[in-house]
Amino acid sequence: MHDAKGHRSCEKASCTVRRYGLVRKLINRGIQNAEVIQAFRVIPRHLFVATPFQSQAYDDVPLPIGYDQTISQPYIVALICERLLSNSTARVNVLEIGAGCGYQTALLSQLYDRVVSVERIGPFVNTARERLASLKIENVVLHHADGSEGIQGDETFCAVVLSAAPLAIDSRLLAMLRPEGCLIAPVGPPNNQTLKLIICKNGEVREESQGSVRFVPIVRGTIN
């Protein structure tokens, strides 16, 4: 877990006030985990938002980031992080499928010892790396690849999170979980998606619905 408090940027006091205002909104909506709340206090969302949308950086809304993708609504990201922490028996590592602009990646870096993130869009990988470096976040490994079926190698993870919606969870992603791990993902076709939490515990696998959501669909292949 990496401390980004030392970030030196042109962040103005107004951004800090707005960020703390967003944190209050998240708490009012039921986010309770102290580590998740602190991560949202520390990570500046405006750093990951495109210039035309800076005035909305701390609104609780998704925003366009290009290539028909979005930076997710903060409340949904906070809910995902909270559910992961509640159901991960360890914090050794987490696999993120879809780094996008890198905001959720940065938040996860505050909650897990190691973050492995996969992003299919090359320009996103480059900008996410730059943003994470500017925050002096060093516990993230970011791959430019199609992560819809997981990643190559033998590493297994305490948690897996999908940032785009498949029609169904690929069994190869579940195989990447540690015995006591969990996976969270939006699942289903556009306009009919459910946030699903899959928990592996005591040799059993159970699935819980976390409510209706709206995410971009998962897409295969890469863009350079």
Domain locations in the chain? 64-213
How far is it, in rounded angstroms, from Cα 36 to Cα 17?
Answer: 18
pLDDT at residue number 10: 42
- CB neighbours of residue 115 within 10 Å: 28
CATH no. for 64-213: 3.40.50.150
pLDDT at residue number 97: 98
Range name among 10-24, 119-133, 174-188 with the lowest pLDDT average: 10-24
Task: Read off the pLDDT of each residue in 92-121 and give the average, rounded to a whole number.
Answer: 98
How far is it, in rounded angstroms, from Cα 154 to Cα 72?
Answer: 30
Instruction: Kindly tell me the sign of the dihedral angle through the C-alpha atoms of 190, 67, 108, 112.
Output: positive
Sheet containing 114-119, strands listed edge to edge, beginning at the edge strand earlier in sequence: 140-144, 114-119, 93-97, 157-162, 177-187, 193-201, 204-213
Active site residue 72: yes
Question: Taking all residues of the chain, what is their mean pLDDT, rounded to a whole number?
Answer: 93
pLDDT at residue number 107: 99
pLDDT surpasses 70 at 7: no
Q: Are 129 and 152 in contact (CB under 8 A)?
A: no
Model pLDDT for residues 136-195, shown as the tens digit of each residue: 999 999 999 999 988 989 999 999 999 999 999 999 999 999 999 999 999 999 999 999
Please tell me which residue in 14, 72, 88, 109 is annotated as part of the active site.
Answer: 72
Q: Are 131 and 47 in contact (CB under 8 A)?
A: yes
